[in-house]
């Protein structure tokens, strides 16, 4: 049996010597031209300076409607200008409306799946955008969400298999955002379930996997180490306390996560620019240098985080797009 560092020791090690992220060579000779396209496009989502990634997802409108902080997607896209953000994740409507205004170096991920919070069962996802439409919108990658434990999990798995194959034939990388969320799930932050989500992304052939961090560094690090796919840690529902959120993200990065894909904890904060700057600093800080740290960002006034673990979600805010 593999020896796993005890939780307390792993946390201490995370502070003193962050785990080097696992990189995948984009220079190997591909076997076909579609792989050439996948490798070239995938490399756009990783900083050449740090080898890590910051993705800003703004695809919550389908599931949540008029989500506070997401009223004006075009304005939020202005946050990425001049910042070391590698990509944005958009639904096809905002991608059509605002994609041309993105910086040339900014990667565009188009969300192919969607579902509203009003559906029965909740948290279901179905395909709402084709690979061809994503290409016409200028996508550098596509994304689908899988909610493990949902009554419609089989449909989401089937959709992912079909759409991922189509995307790969077109030379597009695929981001799988996977989270435990549905009627069969008792604890969405169960470390074994999160490990299963990470493994599922690799097993299904995703090029990137987005998964939540549940606060158990030993199991998270082990799942990342065993994955053949880079793992981005998703932000989850807005926690209201930027310090606790950033502390959780820092711990996940120390476990070997390849970057952060967070939306609500940024755009629902009273100062989204400051939170995004703190995330960029955490992800891209040179090795051996201490990042700015969670204490640099104030918590929103009057919006205290619930008691409990720093990564525990606020169930009141959970929804179809709760992964980011």
pLDDT at 296: 53
Is there a domain that residue 66 lies in? yes
Taking the C-alpha atoms of residue 252 and residue 245, their distance in angstroms, rounded to an integer, is 11
Q: Given pLDDT bands bounded at 50, 70 and 90, which one contains residue 184?
A: confident
Distances (CA, A) of 21 to 52, 259, 281: 7, 9, 15
Is there a domain that residue 180 lies in? yes
Is there a domain that residue 244 lies in? yes
Is there a domain that residue 61 lies in? yes
H/E element holding 313?
Answer: none
Beta bridge partners of 175: 143, 208
Residue 317 reports pLDDT greater than 50? no
Nearest alpha-carbon partner for 44 in 12, 88, 6: 88
Could you read off the pLDDT of 106-155 as tens digits, one per residue?
Answer: 999 999 999 999 998 887 999 999 999 999 999 999 999 999 999 999 99
pLDDT at 221: 98
Is there a domain that residue 324 lies in? no
Taking the C-alpha atoms of residue 324 and residue 319, their distance in angstroms, rounded to an integer, is 10
Is there a domain that residue 308 lies in? no
pLDDT at 294: 45
Q: Which residues 6+ apart lie within 8 Å of 142 measured at CB?
A: 109, 110, 111, 112, 131, 134, 163, 167, 172, 173, 174, 175
Domain that holds residue 67: 28-301
Per the CB < 8 A criterion, the answer to whether 217 and 7 are in contact is: yes
Q: Rounded to the nearest 5 degrees, what angle is found at the Cα of 176, between the Cα atoms of 170 and 177?
A: 145
Per the CB < 8 A criterion, the answer to whether 179 and 197 are in contact is: yes
pLDDT at 121: 87
Please identify which residue in the block is written with the tokens 């279901």. Answer: 124
Q: How many domains does the chain have?
A: 1
pLDDT at 134: 99
- How does strand 174-180 pair with strand 208-212? parallel
Is there a domain that residue 245 lies in? yes
pLDDT at 303: 38
User: For residue 142, what is the domain's CATH number?
Assistant: 3.20.20.70
Is there a domain that residue 33 lies in? yes
């Amino acid at each position: 049996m593999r020896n796993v560092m005890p939780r307390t020791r792993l946390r201490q090690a995370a502070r003193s010597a962050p785990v080097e992220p696992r990189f995948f060579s984009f220079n190997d000779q591909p076997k076909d031209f579609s792989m050439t396209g996948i490798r070239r496009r995938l490399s756009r989502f990783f900083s050449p300076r740090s080898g890590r990634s910051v993705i800003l997802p703004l695809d919550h409108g389908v599931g949540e409607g008029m989500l506070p902080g997401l009223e004006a997607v075009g304005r939020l896209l202005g946050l990425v200008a001049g910042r070391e953000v590698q990509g944005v994740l958009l639904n096809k409507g905002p991608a059509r409306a605002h994609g041309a205004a993105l910086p040339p170096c900014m990667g565009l991920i188009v969300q192919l799946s969607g579902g509203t919070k009003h559906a029965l069962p909740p948290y279901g996802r179905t395909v709402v955008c084709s690979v061809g439409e994503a290409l016409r919108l200028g996508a550098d990658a596509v994304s689908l969400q899988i909610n493990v434990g949902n009554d419609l999990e089989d449909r989401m798995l089937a959709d992912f298999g079909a759409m991922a194959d189509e995307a790969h034939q077109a030379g597009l990388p695929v981001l799988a955002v996977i989270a435990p969320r549905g009627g069969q799930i008792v604890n969405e932050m169960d470390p074994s379930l999160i490990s299963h989500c990470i493994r599922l992304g690799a097993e299904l052939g995703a090029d990137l996997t987005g998964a939540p961090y549940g606060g158990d560094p030993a199991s998270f690090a082990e799942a990342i180490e065993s994955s053949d796919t880079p793992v981005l840690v998703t932000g989850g529902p807005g926690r209201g306390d930027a310090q606790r959120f950033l502390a959780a993200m820092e711990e996940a990065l120390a476990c070997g996560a390849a970057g952060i894909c967070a939306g609500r904890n940024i755009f629902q904060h009273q100062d989204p620019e400051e939170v995004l700057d703190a995330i960029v600093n955490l992800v891209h800080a040179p090795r051996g240098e201490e990042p700015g740290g969670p204490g640099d960002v104030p918590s929103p006034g009057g919006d205290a985080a619930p008691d409990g673990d720093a990564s525990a979600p606020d169930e009141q805010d959970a929804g179809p797009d709760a992964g980011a």
